[in-house]
């Protein structure tokens, strides 16, 4: 039995048994009072008859017959005693001769029952309880009539009291027997009622509710076609109809949801980009085929597992110490971006993956999940690398004249010193006099080597690694390469004074390329000579390198498309310099922004860098 059946059975049992018990109690009390009333009337009638007989004998003054009559009455089965008392409570006649002459005071337990009441309220009988059992005492006053005046004082209303004590043991025995029969009948009636009610409740309610429950469990188990048989027009039948309608609606909704889910899964799986949804515990909620193919795992293996556990060593993000874009997305609530270089593995060539982590918010604005989109940018990366190479070659071409000029000055000094040494040797000079000339030659050669190293360092390809970078040192290595271009443009090139600048996380070659690109763009923005280009630094929450010029500036339409590839306002320009510079800086978690620009007054670009690990703010 289920809990509802037990509760119904207990409630019905308590209700039926309680009501029958109350009815039995009321019936038993009524029956008892009726039998005692009947016994009272019989005792009163008996007492009156005895009083009439005794009065007749008293008129004849036959005391012996009166005593014999009371003794005879006392021998009756239900009579305990019969007595005649005078006004003082003295027993003159009794069915028990031993009590003749006994005085029963008014304050005795047997008399106080009546004498505590007013005479008008006294009844003709009273129930007494004693060691003998329950006794019904009938009290019959013997009136003082005219025919009695011969022996009794006419001033008195009564001559005495006739007491008749009748035992109630028989009545109680009959009541006990009747009560037993009534209890047995009530128990049988209770069983019949309980059985009938239980049968009706089970047939009309419980069985039908059980069918509803079975149908609900079947639907919950996935059998959406399960329905409840409906019959009749009562409440449960209407409930069954409503349940079937609800089941039809649920089945329709589930079918629709499954269709949408299948359509969404088809859409997700049709994407070439890998897609995975993570919860706050970084467990995989869903993923598409493109993502699972990247890891060589089945979707069932990924679902419900932590991403680092599932990925293992298949991907760099599964290793300790590698920044996780999803962790940053959960922490900040903003879209995070990262780029991973994946080495050759399992016959698959080396590739580059770009990851975007986008937050999913609840109604309270809390990030509950993160959607990661993995895009293979290997081809784009290669194209960008080729574009970078072209841009670098173009920059090298522009720097060639500056490099030759920078080299000519120390070479000319070296040549002059060498000719002076040769001339002195021909004149037979002392070798000790050649010390200053040799030192000059040494310094100029070292200067040439330094210029050559800077040029070669810039001419090398850009490695993908990151390292702590000293920004002022990088700027110092780039500015000498563009000073000739600055002189040709009639512009002043300077680095602003600055305090200590912390190390940043980037790549030296990339920073060189970005600084060179921004400075060359600034020099090319001058339409007349007399301009100024300044490179400065700002240290705050992040580290910023600024390149400010006093050139022609940028109009609003040009600012909107500034970082788009192949868009340029300079004749002969490629339009990819700023685009590539920003792409590379973003790989290090930084950015390039246009801080300020106004037509006719110049522009200011800022390069944002992330502090190197362990460097305080």
**Domain limits, the chain:** 3-174, 273-376, 382-611
Read off the DSSP letter of residue 313.
Answer: G
Those residues of the chain that have pLDDT short of 70 are: 1-2, 4, 55, 57, 59-60, 62, 109-117, 119-123, 149, 311-322, 343-349, 384-385, 387-410, 412-413, 429-433, 447, 450-451, 453-465, 565-576, 614-617
**Inter-CA distances, 110 with 45, 105, 113, 614, Å:** 22, 9, 6, 110
Q: Quickly tell me which residue has 């600084």 as its tokens.
A: 515
Cα dihedral: 28, 29, 31, 34 (round 10): 170
In angstroms, rounded to a whole number, what is the distance separating the alpha carbons of residues 322 and 329? 15
In angstroms, rounded to a whole number, what is the distance separating the alpha carbons of residues 456 and 458? 5
β-strands 492-495, 532-539 pairing = parallel
CATH for 382-611, among 3.30.565.10, 3.40.570.10, 3.40.718.10, 3.30.70.100?
3.30.565.10
Task: Provide φ and ψ at 104, rounded to 5°.
Answer: -105, 105
pLDDT the model gives residue 408:
64
pLDDT the model gives residue 535:
93
Q: With contact defined as beta carbons under 8 Å apart, do 449 and 459 qualify?
A: no
pLDDT the model gives residue 604:
92
Burial of residue 372, with CB atoms counted within 10 A of its CB: 0-12 exposed, 13-18 middle, 19 or more buried: buried
CATH for 273-376, among 3.30.450.20, 3.30.930.10, 3.10.20.30, 3.40.50.300?
3.30.450.20
Name, in order, each residue with C-beta under 8 angstroms of 477's C-beta and a sequence gap of 6 or more.
454, 457, 512
H or E, element range at 572: none
In angstroms, rounded to a whole number, what is the distance separating the alpha carbons of residues 44 and 420? 172
Q: Do domains 3-174 and 273-376 have the same CATH topology?
A: yes
Q: With contact defined as beta carbons under 8 Å apart, do 538 and 501 qualify?
A: no
Q: With contact defined as beta carbons under 8 Å apart, do 247 and 226 qualify?
A: yes
* Domain 3-174 annotated CATH 3.40.50.12780: no
DSSP letters, 276-308, are EEEETT-BEEEE-HHHHHHHT--HHHHTTSBHH
What's the per-residue H, E or C state across 162-181? EEEEEECHHHHHHHHHHHHH
pLDDT the model gives residue 392:
60
Q: With contact defined as beta carbons under 8 Å apart, do 275 and 374 qualify?
A: yes
Q: With contact defined as beta carbons under 8 Å apart, do 537 and 547 qualify?
A: no
Cα dihedral: 38, 43, 45, 47 (round 10): -170
Burial of residue 528, with CB atoms counted within 10 A of its CB: 0-12 exposed, 13-18 middle, 19 or more buried: exposed
In angstroms, rounded to a whole number, what is the distance separating the alpha carbons of residues 398 and 373? 40
Tokens of 243: 């349940």
Read off the DSSP letter of residue 350.
Answer: P
In angstroms, rounded to a whole number, what is the distance separating the alpha carbons of residues 542 and 188? 93
Name, in order, each residue with C-beta under 8 angstroms of 140's C-beta and a sequence gap of 6 or more.
44, 47, 48, 50, 51, 124, 161, 162, 163, 164
pLDDT the model gives residue 533:
92
Q: With contact defined as beta carbons under 8 Å apart, do 518 and 482 qualify?
A: no
């Amino acid at each position: 039995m289920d809990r509802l059946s037990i509760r119904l059975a207990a409630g019905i049992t308590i209700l039926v048994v309680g009501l029958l018990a109350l009815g039995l109690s009321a019936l038993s009390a009524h029956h008892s009072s009726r039998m005692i009333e009947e016994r009272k009337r019989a005792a009163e009638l008996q007492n009156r008859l005895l009083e009439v007989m005794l009065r007749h004998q008293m008129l004849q003054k036959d005391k012996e017959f009166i005593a014999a009559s009371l003794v005879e009455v006392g021998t009756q089965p239900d009579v305990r005693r019969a007595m005649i008392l005078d006004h003082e409570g003295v027993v003159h006649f009794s069915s028990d001769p031993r009590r003749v002459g006994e005085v029963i005071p008014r304050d005795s337990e047997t008399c106080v029952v009546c004498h505590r009441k007013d005479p008008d309220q006294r009844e003709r009988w009273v129930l007494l309880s004693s060691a003998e059992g329950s006794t019904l005492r009938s009290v019959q006053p013997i009136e003082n009539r005219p025919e009695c005046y011969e022996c009794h004082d006419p001033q008195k209303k009564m001559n005495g009291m006739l007491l008749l004590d009748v035992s109630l043991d028989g009545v109680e025995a009959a009541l006990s027997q009747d009560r037993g029969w009534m209890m047995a009948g009530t128990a049988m009636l209770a069983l019949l009622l309980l059985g009938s009610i239980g049968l009706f409740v089970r047939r009309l309610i419980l069985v039908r509710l059980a069918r509803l429950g079975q149908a609900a469990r079947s639907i919950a188990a996935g059998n959406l076609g399960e329905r409840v048989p409906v019959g009749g027009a009562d409440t449960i039948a209407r409930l069954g109809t409503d349940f079937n309608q609800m089941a039809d609606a649920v089945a329709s909704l589930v079918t629709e949801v499954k269709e949408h889910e299948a359509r969404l899964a088809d859409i997700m799986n049709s994407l070439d980009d890998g897609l995975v949804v993570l919860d706050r515990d970084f467990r995989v909620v869903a993923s598409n085929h493109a993502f699972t193919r990247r890891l060589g795992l089945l979707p069932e293996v990924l679902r419900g597992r932590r991403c680092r556990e599932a990925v293992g060593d298949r991907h760099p993000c599964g290793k300790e110490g590698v920044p996780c874009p999803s962790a940053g997305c959960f922490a900040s609530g903003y879209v995070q971006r990262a780029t991973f270089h994946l080495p050759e593995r399992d016959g698959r060539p080396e590739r580059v993956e770009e990851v975007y982590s986008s937050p999913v918010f609840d109604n309270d604005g809390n990030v509950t999940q993160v959607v990661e989109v993995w895009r293979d940018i290997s081809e784009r990366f290669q194209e960008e690398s080729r574009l970078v190479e072209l841009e670098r070659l173009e920059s090298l071409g522009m720097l060639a004249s500056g490099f030759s000029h920078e080299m000519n000055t120390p070479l000319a000094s070296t040549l002059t010193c060498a000719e002076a040494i040769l001339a002195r040797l021909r004149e037979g000079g002392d070798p000790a006099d050649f010390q200053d000339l040799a030192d000059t030659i040494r310094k100029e050669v070292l200067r040439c080597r330094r210029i050559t190293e800077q040029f070669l360092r810039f001419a090398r390809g850009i490695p993908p690694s990151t390292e702590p970078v000293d920004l002022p040192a990088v700027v110092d290595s780039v500015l000498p390469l563009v000073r000739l271009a600055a002189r040709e443009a009639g512009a002043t090139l300077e680095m602003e004074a600055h305090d200590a600048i912390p190390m940043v996380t980037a790549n030296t070659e990339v920073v060189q390329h970005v600084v060179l690109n921004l400075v060359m763009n600034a020099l090319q923005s001058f339409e007349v000579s007399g301009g100024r280009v300044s490179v400065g630094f700002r240290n705050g929450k992040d580290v910023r390198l600024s390149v400010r010029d006093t050139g022609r500036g940028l109009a609003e339409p040009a600012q909107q498309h500034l970082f788009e590839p192949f868009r340029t306002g300079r004749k002969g320009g490629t339009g990819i310099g700023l685009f590539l510079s920003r792409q590379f800086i973003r790989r290090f978690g930084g950015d390039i922004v246009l801080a300020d620009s106004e037509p006719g007054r110049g522009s200011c670009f800022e390069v944002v860098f992330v502090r190197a690990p362990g460097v305080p703010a």
